[in-house]
A and B are shown apart, each in its own frame.
Chain A
Amino acid sequence: MKLSIHSLSKKYSGNVWGLLDLNLELKPGVLGLLGPNGAGKSTLMRILATVTRPSSGSIHWNDLDMLSSPDPLRAVLGYLPQDFGVYPHLTAHEFLAYLAAVKGLDGPAASRRIEELLSVVNLSDARNRPLGGFSGGMRQRVGIAQALLNDPQLLVVDEPTAGLDPEERVRFRNLLSELSGERIVILSTHIVSDVEAVATDIAILSHGRLLSHASPEALLASINGKVWEVLLPSSDLPALRQRHLVSSVAHRTDGVHARVVADSAPFPNSSPLEPSLEDAYLATIAAGRTTQAGASA
């Protein structure tokens, strides 16, 4: 099982590039896709879900060109879009039954699968209520269930935990970890902790470009020894932010404890810290920004 993306670009009207020359090679596991707003994550997700066509480049699913023949991939694809709707007059069960039919699942197998999925997403009790009355989180769970209907080999989920309460978020992460064995899961999110919990690989996008594709360990190793804790008065914080990348701050009685990403200790009293994935993400984005500014200049 392999998904290969080569030189993928997407140009929108007004000469805006959603993606630019993206290359990725994916094997079974969970790829966490991180990036700021407008980085091109959803564009990539829509292209992988065969909903949008790229301007150039190629995508191969097990050596089959999915741009010229998307249907073999669609048969094994599960997709949860970032923004999706439901038919408000259908119940959760009816909506899933409809999508099961469209995805080609036959009667008894579909029924069993729907029941199981409703239980997995914790909606069994609400199975016969019209979707129009569902809260945002409940609709999201219906979305998750529909993405898993056909037991997909490629699961593309865009911001899947948006609108879920903390308990449901943990539940979904567990589900995703459990699913990841023999399939490729692509998880796009802003929430670094979601990726941290389940991803076997992390890709960081910014301005349509791939800045990094590595394992979480490799990403953390890249900033090993570059994260510091700095104690300073709160009045000095703006100056610190201007000079260094500050990943977090905590106000305490003795002053501000700032978490700083820098090649060397910013101050003599700085103490080294264990790097987190959030530090690594911010450092990668900042480095990408510097490279891009240099290229533009």
Chain B
Amino acid sequence: MSAATVVLAAAKADFLERVRRYSFLFTLGLALYFGYMATVGRLTLRIGDSRGIYNSAWIGGLLAVVGSTFISLAGFYFVKNTLQRDNETRVGEILAATPISRFTYILGKFTSNFAVLASMIGTLALSSVVMQLVSGEDLHIHLWKLLSPFLLLSLPAMTVVAALAIVFETIPFLHGGFGNVVYFFMWTAILTAPILGNSALYDLGGLFILRRSIVASGAAPLAENSFSLSIDSGQFKAASIFRWEGIPWTAEVLFSRLLLCAVALLLCVIAAALFDRFDPARGYRALRASPTPALPVIVSIPTAPPAPATKLSPLVTRAQSFRFTAVLAAELRLMLKGQRWWWYSVAAGLVLAQALVSKPDSRGMVLAFAWIWPILLWSSMGMRELRYQTHQILFAAPHPLARQLPAVWLAGVLLAVVTGSGFALRLLLEKNLPGLFAWAVGALFIPSAALCLGVWSSSSKPFEILYTLLWYIGPMHAMASFDFMGSSPATAATLYPQIYLAFTAILFAMAVAGRKRQLLL
């Protein structure tokens, strides 16, 4: 059997396994949502206050860039689980015992990742036809102008995203939640790279190529720096509309896109070199098995010779009164278990900085960093039981809803309170009660969101992604409507803390409902 046949067989099996899961429908739904947003004029490409007429070239360009920009973020998180799935289902161990080479296996996984991302882009491409017809500004559908941006801008970008997802999965410290956070910042850096480098070579999403082409055509009013891809809460009303006939696919542009495919292939080679072939003694599986990488997997432990007879004395004091603090302490210990000294050092440093920094804006920024630091601890809330398959044992314990779940939540709140205590102390000393209220809402909101998303998704990923996004838009950019932690001094004076308190209550109630549902399954 040729290597190509093996790659395709591996990719097909993986792809089918994915498309038969409900989450795949969600990915297609997300792509359709972007198409819908563009159709109703809430997702727009602008040159100053102008936009292009909705002809095939403009719609193709717009949706292709939307696809490669947003699907390169959301899509990455959707596909970054292919090796993990083979590990969790133990299919990996079976595959490891077959003659398949590491590169062939990785290539198969890359092809499957790409197929998933390409189907999202394909959905967006189909919606572009609908969008042109619905907008009604130019009903003449020019297929090449409409579809070529998807083919030549979006798909090459997806090859890189597909390969990056696999590289992240093969690097021990990037395969989990930390990698999810790292990719978010990497993605923001990738988007700004072509602007900084002023070259199509660095343009993953195709926005730079599109902008350069529009400016070069002379169709738009000359406002090169005001080019933007925007999401609006209402419909964008353009001051003027111009006609643009599409990207001229020059050799330079095609070369830059081909280069992306070459980069993807190179990333696959790197991933194959890093891939541990599901050997539990190598890679992240070994790291996960023990707190110290140097510790080998224990095959057998010398134990005392088994006693010929065993006798267990009766439990004299059966628990009469339940001690919530014992469960809370146990949950807190479980949450913090495995953290190294440097984790605590950074957390302590951030607490100290919150207390010492005198400028309120800067102090708010320190709080923002202090409350992103424990993200991986919060993201395990509500899903830990299913992830480690301890749920059957825990759910068979008395009052799992009234005892264990609140203890998990409170452990998360305590973590927020302690890691943000420097900020609270300053507010207390300044007698800034509205500020303290906004901070307290943040300390309640974060674990509530984590618990809710963890319980309903049984995965840490949704919280890691959404929280990072919210954190980036709100506290990092001082946008009051997204400042859920009251890091900006102005937030306390607004109604947003009350709104987030209401959200907190809803999220907690949803977490309880989700756990109740799990108990009744």
Contact = CB atoms under 8 A, between A and B. Distances in A.
B309 to A, nearest CB: 6
B314 A122 contact: no
A179 B312 contact: yes
Interface residues of B, number: 58
Interface string B63-96: 0000000000000000000000000000000000
Interface string B292-333: 000111111111101111111111111100110011011101
Given A74-B398, A84-B392, A98 B330 contact: yes
Contacts of A113: 315
B334 A132 contact: no
Contacts of A81: 392-393
A124 B304 contact: yes
A102 B330 contact: yes
Contacts of A37: none
B290 A130 contact: yes
Contacts of A124: 303-304
A213 interface: no
A74 B399 contact: yes
Contacts of A178: 309-312
Contacts of A116: 312-313
Contacts of A125: 301-304
A84 B298 contact: no
Contacts, number: 160
Interface in A87-132: 87-90, 94, 97-99, 101-107, 109, 113, 116-117, 120, 122-126, 129-130, 132
B495 interface: no
A83 B301 contact: no
A52 B400 CA distance: 14
Interface residues of A, number: 60
A87 B297 contact: no
Contacts of B289: 88, 130, 132-133
Contacts of A254: none
B317 A109 contact: yes
B399 A71 contact: yes
A148 B327 CA distance: 18
A174 B298 contact: no
Contacts of A174: 308-310
Given A50-B395, A101-B327, A125-B301, A84 B290 contact: no
B288 interface: yes
A138 interface: yes
Given A52-B521, A90-B337, A79 B393 contact: yes
Contacts of A120: 310, 312
A79 B291 CA distance: 28
A77 B398 CA distance: 9
Given A146-B393, A150-B319, A71 B326 contact: no
A182 to B, nearest CB: 9
A99 to B, nearest CB: 7
Chain B CB within 10 Å, residue with most, of A52, A101, A109, A113: A101
A51 B301 contact: no
Nearest to A171: B306
Nearest to B319: A104
A13 to B, nearest CB: 12
Contact of B392 (A46, A89, A122, A167): A46
B318 A101 contact: no
B55 interface: no
Interface in A62-88: 71, 74-75, 77, 79, 81, 83-88
Contact of A102 (B291, B303, B318, B327): B327
A98 B333 contact: yes
B316 to A, nearest CB: 7
A40 B487 CA distance: 55
B310 A167 contact: no
- Residue of B311, B326, B333 with most chain A CB atoms under a 10 A cut-off: B326
Given A85-B389, A89-B338, A134-B298, A103 B397 contact: yes
B388 interface: yes
A192 to B, nearest CB: 22
A130 B289 CA distance: 8
The 9 closest A-B pairs by CB, nearest first: A85-B389, A151-B315, A132-B289, A104-B319, A101-B330, A89-B338, A133-B298, A81-B392, A74-B398
Given A106-B319, A151-B315, 7 more contacts: A50-B395, A99-B397, A102-B403, A102-B404, A130-B295, A138-B301, A150-B318
Interface of B: 288-291, 295-304, 306-319, 322-323, 326-327, 329-331, 333-334, 337-338, 384, 387-400, 403-404, 520-521
24 contacts: A50-B396, A51-B395, A51-B396, A52-B521, A75-B319, A79-B393, A79-B396, A84-B392, A84-B393, A85-B387, A87-B384, A88-B289, A98-B331, A102-B330, A102-B397, A104-B322, A122-B304, A125-B302, A129-B298, A132-B290, A133-B289, A133-B297, A150-B315, A178-B310
Interface of A: 46, 49-53, 71, 74-75, 77, 79, 81, 83-90, 94, 97-99, 101-107, 109, 113, 116-117, 120, 122-126, 129-130, 132-135, 138, 143, 146, 148, 150-151, 167-168, 171, 174-175, 178-179
